[in-house]
Structure 1
Amino acid sequence: MSRRVEAVVAHLEAAIAQGRYASGTRLPAERVLGVALGVSRATVRDALAALVSRGLLQRRQGDGTYVNDQADRQMAEVWADMAERHPALQGDLIEFREMLESRAAALAATRHDARDRERLLATLAAVDAAYDGEDRAAQIRSDVAFHRAIAEATHNPLFAYLMTSLLRLLHEHVQLSLAGLAPHSDTARQLRLQHRALAEAILARDPERARRCAGSHIDFVGVRLNAMPRPARERQPGGDGHRD
């Protein structure tokens, strides 16, 4: 596989992971994609073929290339089975999310650019607006978009891919949601303050403060909102066992 084909494959994988091409969506024509990405139609065709072979896309004769929703159904079955076999899965997922988001926040603080700053401020404003109301779907969308904006600001596509997959899992498959809150409740107020503190730390280019804010936010989500006991942590050599 040539480097250009690999680059198109990576671009499309990230676009699908980030929701720009949702399950069941038809992709633009090969010629259109080629012009948009600055590559030949043949390069696009080879990239699409690679993604079809991986099961991410499907070709429909005479109708184009679509994002395969079969993968989503299979993944839902996998997570449902895992949740049944592992009663502590929700707590394990929160623990993993803490590790992932703390690192992502620290990287975003050092790597974000002007476009990331604009996106982060826009998603933060959307979070505030959503938690001013009682629309559960809007709360979920805004929360996912905010955390995805942080992941994208790392400029490491794996963070965006993992973050999107994990948040989708938490909200859709394990039903671990921070939404559906009364707009003026203490919990909603705390969430808005935590999101704002996290964004401010990232935009101030303070990676250590960003890491702490992200960790504290995930602790709040896991313990307060979902009434989960935190997994016991081993004391680090030379440390006092406290995060903040």
Structure 2
Amino acid sequence: MALPASERIARSLEAAILARRYEQRLPAERELAAAHGVSRATVREAIGLLVARGLLTRRRGAGTYVNDRSDQQLAGIWSDMAGRHPRLQENLIEFRAMLEREAAGLAAARHDAADTRRLRQAHAEVEAAYSGSDRAAQIRSDVGFHRTIADATHNPVFAYLMASLLKLLHEHVQLSLAGLAPQSAAAAQLRLQHRALLDAILARDIAAAERAASGHIEFVRVHLNDLGPRPAARH
């Protein structure tokens, strides 16, 4: 049985929210109605469903805003996990290697013109950050670059997992980017790796993008986190 139009629009909006297309305020109801080819009443009902689910908040006279409640709950879960698992950093980087490799391949296959613009902008920001020694700027731009790659997969699950994983690694676990000096060998290597990853994705070279992502995370593991080479997979 076909879904009611309001539920269909609600699911579409939810996917867009998880993919960070709407990070703060939703477009006006008339814009959403035109974009989805439905009435404003249908959009209003769909928004009501997401308000009830805790994803959105209506502010009288100001519009509809995306809640950050889920991020706050997730941060609490990660903090608790970090306290209970002393090897959490190593485990997360192992998981990140798998996630980044697949995301890079999908982004190479699926990115569109808008993604291309966002990827180039994110890369320019990370380049600028690594040209200096501001740790906060390095972390912010690095996270932004990898999240933009995840967004380019056009799979909201990748975008959501990448966002939460990088948030945990940078906020709740001892990590890497401790104000790398702009002329250091590590900073130079990271800049080369980011460039290779961007070039492979934009060239739609799936295999090269996956190799670039894997090599980048292995460098992060060994040289920035002192975790040693990744153990061989068990068979």
Alignment pair present for 1:65 and 2:69: no
Tell me by how many angstroms 1:175 deviates.
5.2
1:5 corresponds to which residue?
6
Letter in 2 for 1:46: E
The two structures, once aligned, show a CA RMSD in angstroms of 2.7
Residues 19 and 122 of structure 1, relative CA distance in 2, 3 Å threshold:
same
Distance 1:94 1:100 in 2: 10
Distance 2:135 2:19 in 1: 21
1:74 corresponds to which residue?
73
Among all aligned residue pairs of Structure 1 and Structure 2, give the percentage whose two residues are the same amino acid. 64
Deviation readout 1:156-210 (Å, 9 max, x if unpaired): 2322222222222222333535362111111111110110111122223221221
Distance 2:176 2:6 in 1: 38
Residues 180 and 3 of structure 1, relative CA distance in 2, 3 Å threshold:
farther
Distance 2:200 2:44 in 1: 43
Gap runs ≥5 in structure 2? none
Distance 2:4 2:160 in 1: 21
Residues 90 and 113 of structure 1, relative CA distance in 2, 3 Å threshold:
same
Q: Give the secondary-structure state (helix, strand or coil) at the position aligned to 1:166.
A: helix
**Is the 2:82–2:172 contact (alpha carbons within 8 Å) kept by the matching residues of 1?**
no
The aligned runs of 1:13-92 (5 Å cut-off) are 13-22=14-23, 25-35=24-34, 37-60=36-59, 64-92=63-91
Q: Give the secondary-structure state (helix, strand or coil) at the position aligned to 2:64.
A: strand
Q: Give the secondary-structure state (helix, strand or coil) at the position aligned to 1:66.
A: strand
2:225 corresponds to which residue?
226
Distance 1:112 1:58 in 2: 31
Distance 1:64 1:58 in 2: 9
TM-score normalised by the chain length of structure 2: 0.84
1:189 corresponds to which residue?
188
TM-score normalised by the chain length of structure 1: 0.81
Distance 2:142 2:199 in 1: 16
1:178 corresponds to which residue?
177
Tell me by how many angstroms 1:21 deviates.
4.0
1:240 corresponds to which residue?
none
Distance 2:19 2:167 in 1: 11
**Is the 1:91–1:230 contact (alpha carbons within 8 Å) kept by the matching residues of 2?**
no
